[in-house]
Structures are given as C-alpha cells and as structure tokens.
Amino acid sequence: MQPIFILPPDTKRTVGREAQRMNIAAAKLVAETVRTTLGPKGMDKMIVDGNGEVTVTNDGVTILQEMQVDHPSAKMIVEIAKTQEHEVGDGTTTAVVLAGELLKNAEALLDRDIHPTIIARGYRLAADRAQLELAKLAKPITSKDVDMLSKIAMTAMTGKGAETSKEHLASLIVNAVRAVSVDGQIDRSNIAVERKVGGRIDDSELIHGLALDKERVSSTMVQEVRDAKIALLDTPLEIRNTEIDAKISITDPKHLQSFLDMEEQMLRKMTLRVVESGATVVFCQKGIDDLAAHFLSKQGVFAVRRVKKSDMERIMKATGAKIVTNLDDLSAQDVGVAGLVEQRQVGDEAMIFVRECPHARTVTILARGSTEHVVAEIKRAMEDAIGDVAAALSVGKIVAGAGSIEVELSRHLHAYANSLSGR
C-alpha cells in the first residue's frame, strides 16, 4: 500500500518538548527585541522596510508591526501588543516583556516536569490575586485632578522624543481628554492627533473641533465660512464614466459641442442641488469636477474633495450632518452645522479647520516638529499618553509607577504562593 502524504514531503514536523522550546524561544526573541525600549532610559530603534522607508521609534506596537514576523508563536506575542494598543492605547512594550518573562519562567518549570496545564492554572491564580491586590492598592482619581493627570501623561511620554516639551504636550492631552469626557466615559475616537512638519514642538496646539490635512478644491473659493451649513457627500460631483466599452464617432463639431453642453448642464444640476439644500460647505468623499468646483465657488460654497472616510464620520458626529450617497436625496435635513470652517496655512501647507461644533465633543491635537520623523514620534507619544489618561479617568483609579506596583504585587504573590499546598 502506497503511503498517503497529507503534508508536502519536505515538511518538517516538530513535536513534544522540542516544539515547546521552539515556540517559547520565538516568543522570547520578540520580547527581547522591544525590551531595550522600555523605561525612561529606553533606546529608540531604527527600522528600514522593504521600500527603504525609515522609522525611528521606541513605541512597542509600532516596532512589532514593522517587523516581518512569520513564526506562529511570535505572531501571538505581536497580537498581544495589538490588543493592548486597541484596548488601552499604551503599555504594549510592558505587556510583551511580561509575556516573555512568563514564558521564560514556564520553560524552567517545564524542565522540572511540571505539566503545562498546572503552570497555566498557576498563572491564572496569580492574575486573579493580582487583580484583587491592585484594587486595594489603587487610589481614586477624577477629571478635577489635573496635576495628577498631567503627571500620568508626562510619564507616558518619557523617553519618547517629547522630553523638552512634555509639560506643554501633557496640558494639551489632559484638556483634550477632559473635553470629550461624558459622565466619566471617554471615546478615544473623538480625539484625533494630526501631524504637520514645521515649527517647534511647543507650537503644537489643541483645536476644539476638527483639523483635516486637506485644502479647498479651488483657490477662488472663500477661505472661511461662518455659521457653516455642512453637507457630507459619498458621491462624486463629476460626470461618471460609463462601464460599457463603447465608442461614439462624431463627424460634426456641433455634435461635440452638444456633448460638452450636456456635461455642463449635468454639473450645473448637481451644484444646484447642493445650493438648494442650504449647504455652504461641502465635504466630498469622492471627486469634484473642476467645472463643478467653479459653479460652487460662484455660489460662495466652500468645497473639499477626497476626504477620508474616517474624517467624514468624525465630521458627521461633530456637526450632526448625514452622509448622503445619492445626490438626489440631499435635503436640508441632511445638512449639519458648525460655527466656523476655514482654511489656514500651517507651516508650508494648508489645512482645513472645522470649529465650534455643537453636536459632539470632538477635538484635534495638531502635533508640530522640525522633521517628519520628529512629528511622527511625537504623534505616537501623544497617542500613548491619551490612552493612559483616558484609561485612568474611565477606571477612576491609578497606581504608583516606576515599577513600584510590580514589586509590591510580587511581594503579595510570593506570600500567597506560600499559602497554597501542592505544586
């Protein structure tokens, strides 16, 4: 009887203790990669991707995302960092380093012939006990404790390129988190961090509203609109290309002019629909034809095209506007409001600002710096700090830092372990 190959013949199978050792070694290697970035004396890492793009950072999740990790166990450690980033916004390096140490100690226990399920049960007991002790050791905090919140933000930014301006940045972060807090609940998606090269780090500012890295469609349009009526369009203001592969042969120049006149008429109809809705500002997720932009400009309408979906959703929440996918459905009921929409020069480039939004607590922190690498790292540091401050206010409790809480928990867990019988 011929053997049946389920896997390719050259597949290498690893089982038993060897498989355990390889999996643990891969996970430990990932943890060691980011270990040197931890703490106030942590070092930055320079990462060069396949396209030659350079990233300089000591942000754990950024480093792990840029790494091309193939090993399954190593990928699981990377997922720990991603989950920590999603749930809290910071602490990714700590989570990965702790996971690496747990696996390192587990390996020593495996060498003593302790079964993996017993080790896992012990870790779960320790985690539950640590949670109980943390609840006792934690101190309450509220949005009124501005000084303590600022210290939390500064701690989060320590060693991340924001040292010289961390007091200023911490103030922006605390004010931003407090601005979007509703009954102690904080939606971090209401806080955006935009970056713009140019100026000093101290030039970073908090905007009560939105800042978009875009500019108006035409320079002939007004630069600012007060008491703006805002329309959000997920449909183009341009002539759609047909999906049918067809050709038209024109022998008379009058026929060509007829086609051009028809296009102009269609674009006029589109812009008239916008004007009839009462909108004075249009944010379009798709394209806007230059001729349509000309007609809008003549009507005093401020228009922006190719706006990101995430920005459209933030504008929707902030202004009360509804995203319209069919221009024929646009009406006054779909239009939102803002006190001011303006285009302003920031550094060498223009940005769009939407301010005085009545329907939602939405803020934007505009990070500034001398180079692209600087502003990118400042943005990452600020996003970490926002996560920490938001978590502190959401939970309503804080603990001491600098490793002191870990040492105290270790002391309690050793005492707890000695009280248990068996392995």
Q: Which two tokens stand for residue 124?
A: 């779960």
Which among 397, 395, 416 is positioned nearest to 127, based on CA atoms?
Answer: 416
Do 61 and 85 meet the contact criterion of CB atoms below 8 Å apart? yes
* Residue 269, CB-side half-sphere exposure with 13 Å CA sphere: 9
Identify the DSSP state of 216: -
Do 294 and 193 meet the contact criterion of CB atoms below 8 Å apart? no
Cα distances (Å, whole numbers) of residue 416 to 33, 103, 132, 135, 419? 32, 21, 12, 16, 5
Contacting residues for 337 by C-beta, under 8 A, at least 6 apart: 227, 228, 229, 230, 319, 320, 358, 359
Identify the DSSP state of 189: G
Do 341 and 281 meet the contact criterion of CB atoms below 8 Å apart? yes
Catalytic residues: 59, 92-93, 384
Residue type present at position 404: S
Q: Is 137 exposed, middle or buried (0-12, 13-18, 19+ CB in 10 A)?
A: middle
Identify each DSSP E strand in 92-203 by its residue range: 139-140, 191-197
Terminus-to-terminus CA distance in the chain, angstroms?
Answer: 49
